Structure 1
Amino acid sequence: MPDEDALRKLREERLRRTVDLCVTAHPFYRRRFRELGIGTGDIRTLDDLQKLPLVDKSDYMACPEDFRLRAADAPGLSFEESTLWNVAYTTGTTSGMPSPFFNTAHDQYHIMMQALHCSEAEGVTRGDLIANLIPLPPMPMGAFLCVGRTAEIMGLPVVNALTGAKSKEYPVRRGMDDAIDCVAAAAPSVFWGVPSFVRSFFRRARERNTRFPRARMVVLTGEPVSAALQEELAGHLRAFGSEDPQVRVRYSFTEMQGGLIQCCNGAAPQNLAPDLYYLETVDPETGICVPEGEEGALVLTHLHRRGTVCLRYLVGDLVGIRNERCPHCGRLGERIIQRPRRTGTLVKVKGMLINPELIFEALSANRAISEFQLVVRKIDPADPDSMDQLVLRIEAEMGARARLAEEIPGLIQKTVMVRPEVVFAGPGEIHDPMKSVKVKRLVDERSH
């Protein structure tokens, strides 16, 4: 286990190499450094990063290709560093199209090692069988890919539930009961998925008296998880027969390809790949780091990537972090000591970031719709851990409602990759111009 000085030395060596590559072969930073008059000798230490301005998601989403190193402009790269391995995608784009995140073979191998270290720290071991409960996405997404990478590097079998919205053209997804039967036949010991879905999966499985005799651990990603939900999931594991149920909550985002993890129940999520990623918390207006432990905007810097590369990238959450050893396992890396909360205009629904403005634009173009409002709520308002629900309230003439009810859900799903429930409202229910000038287009009824 490296000491603090050795880790910092490695981080700064890798940072210098990454900055050198960005100066010569990264379209976005090549322009940005030229505008700022920054050269290869100006960013040599982690402290020097504060000389760089912050990069917002909108910068990246506007042209993801500009954040990809150009191998042709960096002739010293190895075959692994310059060869594309795969493309993952992140949601929450301004255009409605998912943003590609490019991984070279170099990146893939390091991400696999990251997956190994993270899952070993979480307590996944040889002999486990993983149930991948992440819904089958419409394109390669980090959460789904992460389960497969972990199984590959650890030499573990995995059973994929392949749930999600069914399609007549692509009948590859399973319904809940079919998925439960498929997973149960494999007898998994580790269940990996989005919290609200995992809970629905377990509840339905128990209603059907389905047995998971080897169940012992849940790995959660994609949504915040309350203490009450963690305890409920632990209770389900006990009901399946686990004597020592383990619940791990990951704080993940595509740009980190795996996220921060817990080494034991209740531990603070920690960056267990500090040789690959450097995290800061800053004042988002000035870019200046806030004192350790205080809340600030989370900023990510890639230290050793060769595909998509970001320096001082605003993740979109406010957190408090400490750069210290974990008191439970002794590992080094930034630890999140304050529950993240989201900033900005993007909204997370069912683990997906969506841009409400795209929905508003699509609906505004439909002349049959008089008024509309987007509502995000929990399926059970009394239960903060129930699944998210996207509800679209529409005011329209009676003669157009049947057609809109048929067309709109698919249109919105195509636009933001989340399917809404359509509810029709009477005249004046959404907006009464006698009471307010502006229409409240977005209502988030979830407690945060």
Structure 2
Amino acid sequence: MKYQIVNLAISAGGALAATSGEFNVLSMNVAGLPEILNSNEVPGDKTTNSEEIGAKFAEYDYDIINVQEDFNYHAYIYSTDTHPYRTATSGGVPFGSGLNTLANFNWVDFARVKWATCSDASENDCLTPKGYTFMRAIIDDGVYVDVYNLHADAGTEDGDEVARAANLKQVADAIDANSVGNAVLVYGDTNSRYTRPDDGITVFATQNGMTDTWVELIHGGVVPTVESICDNPSLVNTCETVDKVFYRGSPLLSLTATYWNYESTKFLQSNGSILSDHNPITVNFTWAAGSSLRQSGYWGGPHGTWFTDVTALASKTSPKASVLSFRGGSRLDSVGLTLTDGTTFTHGGTGGDAATLTLNSGEYWTSAELCQGQKSGETRNFYIKATTSAGRTLEAGTSTSDCATFAAPSGWGIVGYLGQDGDEMDQLAFVYAPQ
């Protein structure tokens, strides 16, 4: 496992929490279409090749592996892989998307999303529900990275170009809706090249502020204008493939790409033949927790609309809470707070009874207990109890037997929220700042 804890800090609850570290990722189209539909021009038996791919995943132990075209030979890959966290297959052709993730980290909020637009102009892209997946990977306690895996429309006919650009724009819009204020990784088979402007591959840079790791590390930040097709296996990194890895950091977490490589020579059959018609890509990242903002873990369920106070808090100097305000009855209806500069954050609905606490000078919010339960088949937050540095408390909702306490690091306090809401509080986490 490549992840290493570099620095540690002691939280208010006495637990050690990592403040920096490293991890790596791999993107690989595993050529898992049924042989009768597509041989992918790969020698050998696909069952045997898939078992070998899984064995190499285990051998090299990449931290987050996104695979595409993981259709009818999925079980053979998983039979030889040893990663502790793996998504369940959505099925072979024509039922599944072919997208899966194998990781050394757990995650929350996993979702599969089908493309809104597809084209059969030159390929059978509408045969399967291709699209993208989303997960919020837990790199460490309170350290999250939103990970998107995608497989865009193939081909170069006009219909393909329109569909592919729409696919990439759909992911970019999802990032704007669900990953505001978060660190993000987007990688997979984009079927795009920078020398084909109609592909729309620049959307992640222009709309989401993301960086292409290949452009950054191999081409010095300069987007190539001359097409360079890769051999397979590729022995050079300067050629361009349609498989790409994009990233960005956030006020909560800085990310730095430090290494980029085609892993082609690591994924060969015993006779030297390729295992896939795509060159696999690896990227190494270092990360560091924010110096002015951090977050807690999440509690509750992945329902409702995403919200975050991170972007507003990032523009402030030394934010401090002055008033805490909750609403609750049978469940937790809403949470809010007012900062000393008058800024107010409120999330959730208007039901339940109101409870407020005005903080004294020098007093700050140090920890929160949350309790969750089931309502209409969905997990929601039922209860909150806030405790301040002076030992005072404020609570709302109804306690359950499924609770967790989130404590700010020593010398830090809770100054905001992030999570998902509707008429009530579905999923909730807290934003910390130095006090």
> By the TM > 0.5 criterion, same fold?
no
The structure with the largest strand share of the pair is 2
The structure with the largest helix share of the pair is 1
Q: TM-score, normalised by structure 2?
A: 0.25
Q: TM-score, normalised by structure 1?
A: 0.25
